[in-house]
């Protein structure tokens, strides 16, 4: 019995040894390839980006013929109303040195001086648009750069012109575009670069309110399109509602 056990142990040992030798030989024949890091050569040729051969498809939304020759024109400003209903261009005609505004197919002008031709403002639904402009403008003495002072100022609302005024500013539209307004001055005198008026007024559509003192009044349109005028009088702040 002891002899049989000894033989079995010897056979097991021989099997283990043979298995180890076989594994070692297999490892030598198929060594594991070492991990290599790709290095970029400084002399390698860069990859050229290929641009598309076809242009993207664009949809023409709006197009208008220019009412002036581009060769004789200096474009000062152009833009598009938010609802894309109107496109406008403000430009100078080099032949007569006058300024113009084109809105869609309609041209307005001529105007004397670029600084007093405001860019058009549009109501929310673009049913109305307007800007300020000056006329009878002359060179202002004592300024190194070109500067002109205009004798009269106007407001343009669509095809209707309002004025003349000694001074005008603060053009606004109500939310529903039914109302529009601005501020203008009368009996104005020059105060070294700006105008000081004895009387100021608020114009709401075709109705005039005032007079008021400068810097002590303003007006606004509420969300429900009511008009509120705010002013100071007798050391009190007064708010008046206009239906």
Tokens for 119, please give them.
Answer: 């860019």
Q: Which range among 59-68, 81-90, 168-177 shows the weakest confidence by mean pLDDT?
A: 59-68
pTM of the prediction? 0.67
Distances in Å between the Cα of 208 and the Cα atoms of 167, 228, 229 are: 15, 14, 12
Identify the residue with better confidence: 206 or 28: 206
- Confidence tier at 130 by pLDDT (50, 70, 90): very high
* Coil, helix or strand at residue 13: helix
Q: Which residue is listed with tokens 């860069």?
A: 46
Tokens for 19, please give them.
Answer: 């298995």
CB contact at 8 A, 152 and 137: no
Identify the pLDDT of residue 13: 61
Write the pLDDT tens digit of every residue in 1-56: 555 556 566 666 666 766 665 665 565 555 555 555 555 555 556 666 666 666 67
Q: Is 116 left (phi over 0), alpha (psi -120 to 50) or beta?
A: alpha
Give the percent of the chain with pLDDT over 70.
69
Instruction: List the Cα angle 9/14/15 in 5-degree steps.
Output: 100
Write the pLDDT tens digit of every residue in 174-194: 999 999 999 999 888 776 666
- Confidence tier at 157 by pLDDT (50, 70, 90): very high
* Coil, helix or strand at residue 3: helix
Burial (Cβ within 10 Å: 0-12, 13-18, ≥19) of residue 14: exposed
Give the percent of the chain with pLDDT over 90.
32
Rounded distance, CA 100 to CA 91, Å? 5
Identify the pLDDT of residue 144: 45
Identify the pLDDT of residue 22: 61
Beta bridge partners of 208: 203
For 124, phi then psi, to 5°, come to -55, -40
Alpha helices in the chain (DSSP H): 2-29
Write the pLDDT tens digit of every residue in 84-115: 888 889 888 988 888 899 999 999 999 887 66
């Amino acid at each position: 019995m002891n002899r049989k056990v000894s033989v079995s142990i010897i056979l097991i040992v021989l099997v283990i040894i043979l298995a180890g030798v076989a594994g070692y030989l297999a490892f030598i024949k198929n060594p594991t390839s070492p991990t290599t890091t790709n290095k970029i050569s400084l002399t390698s040729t860069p990859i050229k980006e290929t641009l598309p051969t076809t242009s993207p498809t664009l949809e023409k939304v709006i197009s208008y013929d220019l009412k002036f020759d581009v060769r004789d024109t200096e474009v000062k400003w152009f833009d598009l109303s938010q609802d894309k209903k109107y496109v406008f261009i403000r430009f100078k005609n080099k032949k007569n040195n006058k300024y113009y505004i084109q809105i869609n197919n309609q041209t307005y002008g001529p105007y004397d001086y670029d600084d007093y031709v405001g860019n058009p403002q549009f109501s929310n639904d673009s049913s109305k648009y307007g800007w300020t402009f000056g006329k009878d403008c002359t060179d202002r003495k004592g300024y190194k750069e070109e500067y002109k002072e205009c004798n009269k100022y106007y407001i343009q609302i669509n095809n209707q012109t309002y004025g003349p005024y000694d001074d005008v500013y603060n053009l606004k539209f109500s939310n529903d575009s039914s109302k529009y307004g601005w501020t203008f001055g009368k009996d104005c005198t020059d105060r070294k670069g700006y105008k000081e008026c004895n009387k100021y007024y608020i114009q709401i559509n075709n109705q005039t309110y005032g007079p008021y003192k400068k810097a002590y009044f303003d007006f606004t349109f509420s969300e429900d399109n009511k008009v509120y005028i705010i002013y100071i009088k007798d050391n009190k702040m007064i708010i008046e509602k206009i239906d």
